[in-house]
A and B are shown apart, each in its own frame.
Chain A
Amino acid sequence: MRKEKKMILFDAKRLLGFFYAFLVVLLIVDFFVHKHADFPWEDAPGFFAAYGFGSCVLLIFIAKACRIFIKRDEDYYD
């Protein structure tokens, strides 16, 4: 058991703190970066953040909805 404890290299709470801080930094940096936009919407500050977040939420909810139609028991084909 002792050895196991030693293997835990990080503290989940602190890691989450870093993660949130990094997200804030990314949003702030966005205002100072020169953009080479190919499409007009790329210029909107935080576009990629919103798009990334929105995509993943949408994807998860669509997947959840799909499960109603495509899920079968593990021995379905047997």
Chain B
Amino acid sequence: MINVIPPAAIFIVGALFVPLIRGRVKSAYMLVLPLLAFAVLVKMPEGKYWMVRILDYDLIFGRVDSLSMVFGYIFTLISFLGILFALKVKDDLQHVSALLYAGGTLGVTFSGDLFSLYIFWEFLAISSTFLILARRTKASQLAAFRYILVHVFGGLCLLAGIIVYIHDSGTTEFSYIGLGGTASWLIFIGIALNAAVPPLHAWLQDAYPEATFTGAVFMCALTTKSAVYLMARTFPGTELLIWLGAIMTVVPLLYGILENDVRRVLAYIIINQVGFMMVGIGIGTQLAINGAVSHAFCDILYVGLLFMAAGSVLHMTGKIRFTDLGGLYKTMPLTCLFCMIGAASISGFPLFNDFISKSMIVSATAHEKLSVIWLVLQFASAGVFLHAGIKVPFFTFFGEDSGIRTKEPPHNMLLAMGIAAFLCIATAIFPGVLYHILPYPVHFVPYTASHVVNELQLLMFGGLAFLLLVRTGYYPAQVRAINLDTDWFYRKGGSLFYYVMDKVLNGVNALADRAIAQGIPLWVGRLSRAPLTSVVSLYMKAMGKDGVAIEEFKRETSPEATSLMAMGVPVFVSLVFLFSLFVVFAFLG
């Protein structure tokens, strides 16, 4: 039997009733929503449903196949854990936006046409912005503003690509697109931005550390991984992704070592992990796609777990910088344990879930004889252990005692972390369950003696390097600082742009105002009223003698002061817009 309500609608419609309910009923209600969605998912056979015909185009809200199902399962699962984690938060804004966000993500996952995809895509961006705003600090407001601007830019790229794509192909349905003409590049950029592919990645490390302690749990799981899904759907086998992915796995590690904010380190880890997925999608073989999808599945569990642990620390101590933390294992032993399970999982220790997923991608690079990529991925695997596996738990829960004495977070938060930790281990011990739901049949065997020994050697000797460098003082000290990333271009570059626009275009504006708008009528008026005085005053001016008339003239025509809103900016934007329209029509025509 096909169910009546799409899973996305359960979240979106369900979210609207949250503010109307109070107390325990509200908690129960919010927990039931993901369970209900999960029940619908399980009963959905493959195919296309919930089709609506609007203006000669079919909107398909339910494209169900093995690829969308895996993501549907894990998105619903992490939404359940995220809601459980946030259950005690007394802020409807957060609850509603988190549910809408989860609904938008499921909408993206199951949409079979480009129109509904775009609608859910924007839905996802807007609702997630409120999870940053809801922290209600000055820094979070600014970060949310930058976050939404960047995503609006990505969304517009996607929309432009969609319009050209539909114009070219005549259909709104989509599946494999592949890099080719203008449309595919625009769609690619739109998706790559959400997947945090460099140089479009900086929004992630900018925004996530500013989100609320519960909101970050949803954010770390949903936006990038829905983009991974879409990339796997539309651009599998794109060679460019292999190289971009390889860069993604390495560069964030450098920032991970230097960063001082626990959640910013974790944000860089997300970029690194998505890099592995991009490599898998770029290779595009069955093994590689299976690897990328299973890695996304596992990643959501352990990154969610790590963000929950970091969120617990932030919630209980009010602090989130390594320089302020340390020695928390004494008072938060369970949180510490869960964080270490997350750390072991992300590092890919045998019996932790990354071991069974990342190795598929690495193995796929070996099958395709991509030796350089293989070496890069092994390098990155050792590096992940260094900064996510060791640095995060070490400097938070061990290391130098900060003197902070707190207690464990509330039971619901511990329970959410406990379930996530359990699943991290369970998927590793019984990989068959995950392998069974992957898009292609799996012939991969993770637990071979050589794989286990190789992986342990890689990690443990990486750990030895950490130990020796910390002891000898070579490990970079944790300091309060900002590390520049590509967001510099729009944070500083934005100010520079504003300054240049203000000075140049407002200068032209003022000059034109003085010379034409005020100057001409003034002199025409004077000449007609008092020709002689005017000529005299002109003569005096020419001789360099300042007369009263000239002073008055100067005062009357004082250039328009630099205004609050640089008028040059809209003018410039309009010019760019008109010019790009001209270019587009010139090419299309």
Asked whether B449 lies within 8 Å of A53 as measured between CB atoms, the reply is no
Q: Which A residues are CB-close (under 8 A) to B585?
A: none
Please, how many angstroms separate the alpha-carbon atoms of A17 and B271 in the complex? 35
Q: Which A residues are CB-close (under 8 A) to B450?
A: 33-36
Please, how many angstroms separate the alpha-carbon atoms of A21 and B224 in the complex? 40
Asked whether B457 lies within 8 Å of A48 as measured between CB atoms, the reply is yes
Please, how many angstroms separate the alpha-carbon atoms of A34 and B475 in the complex? 36
In the assembled complex, B459 has its CB within 8 A of some CB on chain A: yes
Asked whether B457 lies within 8 Å of A26 as measured between CB atoms, the reply is yes
Taken residue by residue from 352 to 375, chain B's Cβ proximity to chain A (1 for < 8 Å, 0 otherwise) reads as 000000000001001101010010
Asked whether A63 lies within 8 Å of B254 as measured between CB atoms, the reply is yes
Asked whether B491 lies within 8 Å of A55 as measured between CB atoms, the reply is no
In the assembled complex, B14 has its CB within 8 A of some CB on chain A: no
Q: Which A residues are CB-close (under 8 A) to B424?
A: none
Q: Which of A33, A39, A63 is in CB contact (< 8 Å) with B449?
A: A33
Asked whether A60 lies within 8 Å of B386 as measured between CB atoms, the reply is yes
In the assembled complex, B480 has its CB within 8 A of some CB on chain A: yes
Please, how many angstroms separate the alpha-carbon atoms of A29 and B465 in the complex? 20
Q: Which A residues are CB-close (under 8 A) to B456?
A: 26
**B139 smallest CB distance to A (angstroms):** 9
Q: Which B residues are CB-close (under 8 A) to A26?
A: 453, 456-457, 460
Q: Which B residues are CB-close (under 8 A) to A4?
A: 330
Q: Which B residues are CB-close (under 8 A) to A74?
A: 480-482
Q: Which A residues are CB-close (under 8 A) to B257?
A: 59-60, 63
In the assembled complex, B253 has its CB within 8 A of some CB on chain A: yes
Please, how many angstroms separate the alpha-carbon atoms of A76 and B386 in the complex? 28
Asked whether A63 lies within 8 Å of B482 as measured between CB atoms, the reply is no
Asked whether B383 lies within 8 Å of A59 as measured between CB atoms, the reply is yes
- Closest B residue to A62 by CB, please name it: B254
**B118 smallest CB distance to A (angstroms):** 32
- Closest A residue to B390 by CB, please name it: A56
- Closest A residue to B138 by CB, please name it: A78
Q: Which A residues are CB-close (under 8 A) to B378?
A: 48, 51, 55
Q: Which of A33, A51, A53, A71 is in CB contact (< 8 Å) with B258?
A: A71
Q: Kindly state the interface size class of chain B when it binds its partner.
A: 35 or more
> Among the interface residues A46, A51, A74, which one has the most CB atoms of the partner chain B within 10 A?
A51
Q: Which B residues are CB-close (under 8 A) to A57?
A: 465, 469
**A60 smallest CB distance to B (angstroms):** 6
**B379 smallest CB distance to A (angstroms):** 5
Q: Which A residues are CB-close (under 8 A) to B366?
A: 38-39
In the assembled complex, B501 has its CB within 8 A of some CB on chain A: no
Asked whether B457 lies within 8 Å of A36 as measured between CB atoms, the reply is no
Q: Kindly state the interface size class of chain A when it binds its partner.
A: 35 or more
- Closest A residue to B321 by CB, please name it: A74
- Which secondary structure characterizes the binding site on chain A? helix
Asked whether A71 lies within 8 Å of B482 as measured between CB atoms, the reply is yes
Asked whether A49 lies within 8 Å of B254 as measured between CB atoms, the reply is no
Q: Which B residues are CB-close (under 8 A) to A61?
A: 474
Please, how many angstroms separate the alpha-carbon atoms of A52 and B258 in the complex? 20
Asked whether B258 lies within 8 Å of A67 as measured between CB atoms, the reply is yes
Asked whether A56 lies within 8 Å of B457 as measured between CB atoms, the reply is no
**B349 smallest CB distance to A (angstroms):** 12
Q: Which of A7, A22, A36, A56 is in CB contact (< 8 Å) with B386?
A: A56
**A21 smallest CB distance to B (angstroms):** 11
In the assembled complex, B528 has its CB within 8 A of some CB on chain A: no
Asked whether A56 lies within 8 Å of B462 as measured between CB atoms, the reply is yes
In the assembled complex, B483 has its CB within 8 A of some CB on chain A: yes
In the assembled complex, A64 has its CB within 8 A of some CB on chain B: yes
Asked whether A48 lies within 8 Å of B476 as measured between CB atoms, the reply is no
In the assembled complex, A72 has its CB within 8 A of some CB on chain B: yes
> Among the interface residues A23, A27, A49, which one has the most CB atoms of the partner chain B within 10 A?
A49
Q: Which of A55, A56, A63, A73 is in CB contact (< 8 Å) with B481?
A: A73
Asked whether A51 lies within 8 Å of B482 as measured between CB atoms, the reply is no
Asked whether A39 lies within 8 Å of B382 as measured between CB atoms, the reply is no
Report A8-54 residues with CB < 8 Å from chain B CB: 8, 16, 19, 22-23, 26-27, 29-30, 33-36, 38-39, 42, 46, 48-53
- Closest B residue to A20 by CB, please name it: B464
Taken residue by residue from 249 to 283, chain B's Cβ proximity to chain A (1 for < 8 Å, 0 otherwise) reads as 00001100110000000000000000000000000
Chain A residues with CB under 8 Å of chain B are 4, 7-8, 16, 19, 22-23, 26-27, 29-30, 33-36, 38-39, 42, 46, 48-53, 55-57, 59-64, 66-67, 69-74, 76-77
Q: List 17 A-B contacts (CB under 8 A).
A: A19-B464, A26-B453, A34-B450, A39-B374, A42-B454, A48-B378, A51-B458, A52-B459, A55-B383, A60-B469, A60-B476, A63-B257, A66-B254, A71-B479, A71-B484, A73-B481, A74-B480
- 13 new A-B contacts at CB < 8 Å, known A23-B460, A33-B453, A46-B457: A7-B329, A16-B467, A19-B464, A35-B450, A36-B448, A48-B378, A48-B458, A49-B458, A59-B254, A60-B474, A63-B257, A71-B481, A71-B483
Closest 9 CB pairs of A and B: A38-B366, A56-B465, A52-B458, A48-B457, A63-B257, A53-B461, A55-B382, A52-B461, A49-B457
